[in-house]
Amino acid sequence: MYAENKNSGQNAPHPADNAKHHERGSLETPVQFVPGVGPYRSRQLERLGVQTLGDLLYYLPRRYLDRSLIVPVAKLDLSDREFTVVGEVAAFKIVGGGTKRRRFELDLVDASGGLRIVWFQGIQYWSKAFKRGQAIAVSGKTHHYRERLQMTHPAVDFLDENESLGLKAKTGTIISLYSSNAALRAIGLDSRGFRRIMAEGIKLSAGHVPDFLPEELRSKYNLLSRADTLKMVHFPEKMDQKEEALKRLRYEELFSVQLTLARRQYLRKAKQQGIKFPHPEPGALTSRAVKHLPFKLTKGQLSVLTDIREDMESQYPMNRLLQGDVGSGKTAVAMMALAMAVEGGYQGALMAPTEVLAEQHSRTLGVFFKELGISTELLIGGLKTTERKRRLKAIVSGEVDIIIGTHALIQEGVDFAKLGLAIIDEQHRFGVAQRLKLRKKGTTPDVLVMTATPIPRSLALTLYGDLDVSILLEKPGSIKPITTRILNGSDRDKLFDFLKTEIGKGRQAFLVYPLVEQSEKLDLQAAVDSYKELKGGTMKDFQLGLLHGRMSTEEKDRVMTAFSSGDIDLLISTTVIEVGIDIPNATVMAVMGAQRFGLSQLHQLRGRVGRGEIRGVCALVIDPPITKEARDRLAVLAETEDGFKIADADLRIRGGGEFFGTRQHGAPDFKIADPIEHRDLLEAARRDAFEWVERDPDLKQFVPLRAHFERAYGPRMELMDVG
């Protein structure tokens, strides 16, 4: 039997034999029953999401210490790189006091010499963390202090000559190092403590680790068994074993996500009954709508509309993603799709992420459809109670054919008479749950999600891998390339001289301020201050407008109407104008503090100008200090207008979470694999998953796979059943 010491975090009684509903050693065994954990440590582990033995074994090392690559003290130098040194603690003490700066000093020695380690923070913790003769590894940069080699605030990992499973601190050993925190370290769960309970977990799970990957897939890629994987990822004897284990774990994670997408697509196309829109007669409403457009549709737009028409006429619900670069004409495609829905006897809804964009869509669509006898209505927040009630009544009665709005469309009390098509514009700005709410406003309506932010293939396969995808690459021939210039803050006077020249020619311009330190208040203040300064100074001879997110609906609508009609020469704005705003007479987009934006966001802003007959100019103003990396990143925009190339670069630099600016609720949460770095493995896992579902859609042929799938994804299926 074991006894847990609350303060030291030692082993607790092990009542796993009495654990209800769990076979001892199964991956569902509560983590508190792992020897060395107990109730006290388990409470801290649960804060990391570690609740079961399986969770524990999937809590992977953050890195590995390869003792064959350790640098002896005598070989250390002052180069600007990190070294790892392994040695014994020779002595330690707290130095200083009173007016002196207190610090904790430790002398580390190996066979070649000694190294002074210094901490200025966490002194109380470190003063109790060491024992003389203790084996430790320190990692950090070295420097000279008073003619002695020193390392300040290094990463520290405690080694233990008595550790099991081949972890003895000797040359050639691979040692697993784990993420920890102060609370965990206080109960003995530093890397050394984690290695001990991982070793116990591996022993406990022996013979109880089902492999949910079929043998044919493991053989196809020469993957380790799941049991061997979990042992080797924590206790590899060589670095090659660690890589083999990680390959298996990455594949199984990618395969699981792609299996979910394949199942989702199968259920939608094989089991869900959608709206089967009738095929229109020649010369009908949609044909008239196409002819009524003030321009000719491109081949790309016609191709996408053919895809949409086929989806709407099929018996299963449409779930299509329309990707289109800036200026490729997605709005025109949406308008024709809405005409198809109305022609089929249904209502259409268009949901936009901001009121500014929703209001613009309402103006554009309202004028266009009115001449075709199709009624539209705008539904946004901030409407007066009586007006809101009138519009809601018109929508639920079927009096209105097309409803345009923001998230106000999905609020309680908003009911449709017969919703047949839901279009979500700039869909990445909405969470999955919000998109699901809109779809539930009708009975399996067709869904078209659109984005002007081109999505790199590696990310699209994980976020939207079950959707049918249409891509608009072709831009209307009238759109001219945009000139992009990168300016230093000292060039502001030149910028405003250029703005005066352009406005003097009867053109219009944008001046955009960034989000400063994620603070809307500071963001707003920068724009407001600039507006006041320019209005009474440099730009006093011109008509200026101000637009930001805290203005009322009426104020924003008044400003945008004035800008659209040409009554405002220069619009000073926050990023609320990022997407969708269409002012053909605007020729200059000036972005202040451009280094604070992502590339895709800057590409969107650039796309707001040059939409008429005059070539547009985008001026990216950077404020010091500016790094070489930031300059190189912005140079990508100067080199290309290809949104997909820009998106790829943005994704590599910022990663998937930051690429869109907001997290996609319900999107896959990758803990091991990286869809960008491991793209080849992702595409292999996708092929395998879709092929498996094609021949075994209900996953009955391999019971462990079905059990894993239901356990891992069953509770999330409703959210996962929407694009």
Q: What is the pLDDT of residue 115?
A: 94
Q: Which residue type does 164 have? A: S
Q: Where are the domains of the chain?
A: 1-62+181-208, 64-177, 210-332+418-478+665-723, 347-406, 483-640
∠ Cα 407 412 413 (to 5°): 110
CB 620 within 8 A of CB 486: yes
Class of domain 64-177: mainly beta
Residue 522 CB contacts under 8 Å (≥ 6 apart), including other chains = 516
Q: How confident is the model at residue 662 (pLDDT cuts 50, 70, 90)?
A: very low
Q: Is 715 buried (19+), middle (13-18) or exposed (0-12) by CB count in 10 A?
A: exposed
CB 251 within 8 A of CB 221: yes
Q: Average of pLDDT values for 130-146?
A: 88
**Is 720's pLDDT higher than 80?**
no
Pick from 130, 87, 138: which is nearest to 109 by CA? 87
pTM score of the predicted model: 0.67
341 vs 440 pLDDT, higher one? 341
Q: Average of pLDDT values for 298-311?
A: 93
Q: How confident is the model at residue 661 (pLDDT cuts 50, 70, 90)?
A: very low
Architecture of domain 347-406: 3-Layer(aba) Sandwich (3.40)
Pick from 704, 696, 657: which is nearest to 676 by CA? 657
Give me the long-range contacts of 45-48 (CB less than 8 A, separation at least 24): 45/184, 45/189, 47/183
Could you tell me the end-to-end alpha-carbon distance of the chain, in angstroms, rounded to an integer? 52
The kind and range of the H/E element at 519 are none
Strands 544-547 and 419-424: unpaired
List the beta bridge partners of residue 87.
136
Strands 586-592 and 544-547: unpaired
**From residue 253, how far is each of 29, 265, 647 by CA, in Å?**
21, 19, 24
| Alpha-carbon span 470 to 26, nearest angstrom | 45
CB 131 within 8 A of CB 146: no
Return the exposure string of 162-192: e unless at least 16 CB atoms fall within 10 Å of the residue's CB, then b.
ebebebebeeebbbbbbebeeebbbbbbbbb
Phi, psi values for residue 84, rounded to 5°: -120, 125
Pick from 607, 693, 702, 696: which is nearest to 257 by CA? 693
Class of domain 210-332+418-478+665-723: alpha beta
| Alpha-carbon span 590 to 483, nearest angstrom | 12
Class of domain 1-62+181-208: mainly alpha
List the beta bridge partners of residue 412.
none
Q: What is the pLDDT of residues 15-52, one digit of tens each?
A: 333 444 457 778 999 999 999 998 999 999 999 999 99
Kindly state the tokens that stand for 32.
């508190």
Q: Could you tell me the strand order of the sheet in which 103-110 lies?
A: 142-145, 148-152, 113-119, 103-110, 83-95, 135-140, 155-158
Fold matches, 64-177 and 347-406 = no
Q: What is the pLDDT of residues 468-500, one digit of tens each?
A: 888 887 776 666 788 999 888 788 889 999 999
Q: What is the pLDDT of residues 177-194, one digit of tens each?
A: 898 888 888 898 988 899
∠ Cα 273 277 281 (to 5°): 160
**Is 348's pLDDT higher than 50?**
yes
Q: Within a 13 Å sphere around the CA of 234, how many CA atoms are in the beta-carbon half?
A: 27
CB 698 within 8 A of CB 263: no
Pick from 337, 403, 402, 427: which is nearest to 722 by CA? 427
**From residue 213, how far is each of 195, 521, 679 by CA, in Å?**
27, 51, 20
In whole numbers, what is the pLDDT of the chain averaged over residues?
A: 83
Q: What is the pLDDT of residue 647?
A: 76
Q: Does CATH number 3.50.50.60 belong to domain 483-640?
A: no
